[in-house]
Amino acid sequence: MLAIVCPGQGSQTPGFLAPWLELPGFRDRMSWLGAVAGLDLIGHGTESDAETIKDTAVAQPLIVSSGLVSLLALFEHPSDGFRSVAVAAGHSVGEITAAAASGVLTAEQAMVFVRERGRAMAEASAATPTGMAAVVGGEADEVLATIERHGLTPANINGAGQVVAAGTLEQLEALKADPPAKARVIPLQVAGAFHTHHMGSAVDLLAGHARAISTHDARVRLLSNADGHVVQGGHDVLRRLVKQVSSPVRWDLCMQTMLDLGVTGLIEIPPAGTLVGLAKRAMPGVETLALKSPDDIEAAQRMIREHGTADAADNPVHAASTPAPRLVIAPSKGSVELEPVAAGDTVDPGAVVAHVSTLRDTYDVTAPHGGQVIEWLVEDGDPVSPGQPLLRLHPLSR
């Protein structure tokens, strides 16, 4: 089972785009997405220095566009990716890349959304001097307690012994002077306290834009930063993209869901390296590849052949996107408790039809589009896995 993962801000380095421009069509596609974003993305990806591409308004469109265009080098036709890739996930802004690659947004919609996201987050960052720092090592509970003691937010819980703290520069300096035992504090090349309350104004702006964006359901299992759950409906994906700007990224839970699903191969698209580093420590036994340059394409295509899904029918989320019937899927691993809904009943869009319980939490399962119940595919109390079909619905005409 193959996963494609998309990196977030801080993964960009000066000149990382240069080798990709040798591929046929790559420059033209980047120029087009740059026109949509209103930025010289080629110039920023090849000539701009580290300080320039650290700017949130530049970094975010650059990361999303380079990821989307490089993906086209792996598949002759975009639909080939839907037949081969079982799981997609993105870290922070990379979640926009993953949403577009999964068919929820068009590339142009993704670029407009990330353009506005980057600008709004840059403006929010300018209001108060803020930043982020990685805390590597230490005991997990003590790390979180120390971060909170200094008034910071654990903005990224990345797993593999890494938590990213975010807050004011003074708070980060205090953390560096008084770190958790056996932990290192490493400042990150980002220009704000992302995924914290400092980004509240950006959330408000993006929520307004989101009301005007049309979406499609994800055509592969798309994991959410919020909780590692498989997300099915396009509207839910977009709502989560807005909310995650001021909410912590739980990449540790995304990696756990990939393990629960049985992922055997993981490819990180450009600018690659960070997420593969985390996966090597937290996902033992999973083959990984950081797609850093065109020299890595042959290895990536070999992994697609060996780990990819051979038949689209094997992917229940892909099957769910066909016109009829529709499937309601489990968001996470756990045991299922069914609502009193029977064959022939009609459920409204967004209605809760079941619950999935873990040892710690219980999560609602909703029917994104509603419809008439054809049949349950599980029984009350059954163990379920992320993305497993639970209920078959026949869509009703509007």
Just list the catalytic residues: 92, 195
HSE, side-chain direction, 13 A CA sphere, residue 78: 11
First and final C-alpha spacing in the chain: 37
Q: Which residues contact 46 (CB under 8 A, 6 or more apart)?
A: 15, 17, 18, 21
Of residues 27, 110, 11, the one with CA closest to residue 64: 110
Pairing of the two strands 265-268 and 2-6: parallel
Q: Could you give the angle at the alpha carbon of 83 between the alpha carbons of 82 and 85, nearest 5°?
A: 65
Residue 192, Cα to own-chain centre: how many angstroms? 20
d(CA 156, CA 68): 23
Question: Residue 231 in contact with residue 321, Cβ under 8 Å?
Answer: no
On the 0-12 / 13-18 / 19+ scale of CB atoms within 10 A, 390 is buried
Of residues 209, 160, 165, 207, the one with CA closest to residue 185: 165
Burial 42-71 (b: 16+ CB within 10 A, else e): bebbbebeeeebbbbbbbbbbbbbbbbbbb
d(CA 249, CA 228): 9
Full strand arrangement of the beta sheet holding 87-90: 230-231, 221-223, 87-90, 2-6, 265-268, 287-290
d(CA 290, CA 292): 6
Of residues 330, 363, 350, the one with CA closest to residue 231: 330
